[in-house]
């Protein structure tokens, strides 16, 4: 299986959860709450990945490789992606932190899980609406009417696409086939017309494979921007480990700052830490360079990793208005959440 088949839209896969899967993930290795496991003078902190190793996580692996965590008295433990979502691992004390995305945090917290977003690696979203660059019949989103969307099964995909198409003057009528990891191949082969890739990974990968994609930015058509990558924790863990959490995020921020200032070396450190998974070092370097050069990384002095209230209000309202948020009983929320309770900037470095 090639890389485009292995790496799907990482953040938008909300895993089916079960007690069995959760137990299996716990056995596979996680830490837990209130300080983790000491290793000499180091305290273990576990971080659950939301997909296979990629440049969403570069800052964490750089911080580990360069000893930033060790300087803060921390030993990093990475929990590989599994069928149990990072949000569920966090909420059940099986991971101290985990990678998520804005909708993922919103779904989990609306359903009553103790999940709180604490750090935004990127200042803008990385998703696009993409189609083969060879297509001449698609020049704007309204041209997607009547065509086939290769999707991933996340409930926010359809409403997002309908919104963008309609705001371009179309009807928002298209057919969806849920293909997960086969979505990109379906677009490449012409079996589907468009999909939603992570432009900083799958977009780069397609270019390198000679299967270039063209894309529309949803924000160009009035759609609210969103955090496609977030680090989350639980309020329970943060309350019990406030100082440790601040040290962890300070070191993490240093890792992402390094990735922004020297993307090639950062990419090489990511590959070194994940050599069996990341076999195309040039893809990793190209992806990391795009993140750095196009201003994706949220490393601005004074607001490193900070989450914007407008992101949460605007995109959160989109999720609520489209009936995508349900409570612990699976019933649609009848009142829009207070989005300030879904994230915090209180643990970020000054």
Nearest to 67 by CA among 301, 219, 258: 258
Residue 288 and residue 270: Cα distance in Å, rounded? 10
Residue 231 and residue 118: Cα distance in Å, rounded? 6
Rounded average pLDDT over 327-338: 98
* 181 has a pLDDT exceeding 70: yes
**Banded model confidence at residue 39, pLDDT cuts 50, 70, 90:** low
What is the reported pTM? 0.89
Tell me the pLDDT of the chain averaged across its residues. 90
> What are the distances in angstroms from CA 204 to CA 7, 96, 210, 343?
12, 31, 10, 30
* 4 has a pLDDT exceeding 80: no
Rounded average pLDDT over 305-321: 98
Residue 78 and residue 140: Cα distance in Å, rounded? 41
pLDDT digits (tens, 9 = 90+) for 123-168: 999 999 999 999 999 999 999 999 999 999 999 999 999 999 999 9
Angle at 302 (CA atoms; ends 289, 235), nearest 5 degrees: 95
Burial of 281 (0-12, 13-18, 19+ CB in 10 A): middle
What residues pair up with 48 in beta bridges, in sequence order? 79, 98
Nearest to 104 by CA among 117, 119, 92, 93: 117
Residue 242 CB coordination number (10 Å): 12
Which pLDDT belongs to residue 281? 98
Burial of 322 (0-12, 13-18, 19+ CB in 10 A): middle
Fold designation for 136-221: D-Maltodextrin-Binding Protein; domain 2 (3.40.190)
pLDDT digits (tens, 9 = 90+) for 232-273: 999 999 999 999 999 999 999 999 999 999 999 999 999 999
Residue 192 and residue 179: Cα distance in Å, rounded? 10
For the chain, residues classed under CATH 3.40.190.10 are 3-124+227-341, 136-221
Nearest to 105 by CA among 231, 17, 7: 231
Fold designation for 3-124+227-341: D-Maltodextrin-Binding Protein; domain 2 (3.40.190)
* 44 has a pLDDT exceeding 50: yes
């Amino acid at each position: 299986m090639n890389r485009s088949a292995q790496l799907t839209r990482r953040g938008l896969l909300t895993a089916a959860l079960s007690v069995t899967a959760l137990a299996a993930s716990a056995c596979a290795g996680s830490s837990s709450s209130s300080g983790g496991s000491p290793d000499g003078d180091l305290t273990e902190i576990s971080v659950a990945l939301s997909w296979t190793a990629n440049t969403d996580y570069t800052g964490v692996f750089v911080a580990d490789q360069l000893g930033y965590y060790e300087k803060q008295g921390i030993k990093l433990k990475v929990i590989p992606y599994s069928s149990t979502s990072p949000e569920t691992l966090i909420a059940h004390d099986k991971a101290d932190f985990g990678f998520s995305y804005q909708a993922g945090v919103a779904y989990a917290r609306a359903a009553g899980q103790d999940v709180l977003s604490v750090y935004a690696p990127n200042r803008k979203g990385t998703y696009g609406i993409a189609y083969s660059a060879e297509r001449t019949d698609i020049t704007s989103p309204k041209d997607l009417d009547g065509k086939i969307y290769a999707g991933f099964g996340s409930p926010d995909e359809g409403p997002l696409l309908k919104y963008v198409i309609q705001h371009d003057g179309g009807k928002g009528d298209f057919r969806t086939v849920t293909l997960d990891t086969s979505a990109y191949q379906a677009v490449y082969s012409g079996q589907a017309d468009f999909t939603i890739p992570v432009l900083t990974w799958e977009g780069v990968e397609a270019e390198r494979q000679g299967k270039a994609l063209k894309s529309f930015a949803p924000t160009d058509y009035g759609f609210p921007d969103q955090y496609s990558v977030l680090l989350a924790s639980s309020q329970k863990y943060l309350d019990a480990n406030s100082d440790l959490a601040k040290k962890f995020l300070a070191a993490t921020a240093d890792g992402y700052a390094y990735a922004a200032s020297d993307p090639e070396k950062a990419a090489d450190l990511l590959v070194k830490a994940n050599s069996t998974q990341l076999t195309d070092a040039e893809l990793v370097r190209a992806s990391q360079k795009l993140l750095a050069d196009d201003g994706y990384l949220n490393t601005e002095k004074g607001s490193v990793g900070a989450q914007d209230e407008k992101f949460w209000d605007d995109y959160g309202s989109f999720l609520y208005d489209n009936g995508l948020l349900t409570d612990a009983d699976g019933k649609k929320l009848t009142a829009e959440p207070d989005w300030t309770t879904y994230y915090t900037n209180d643990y970020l470095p000054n």
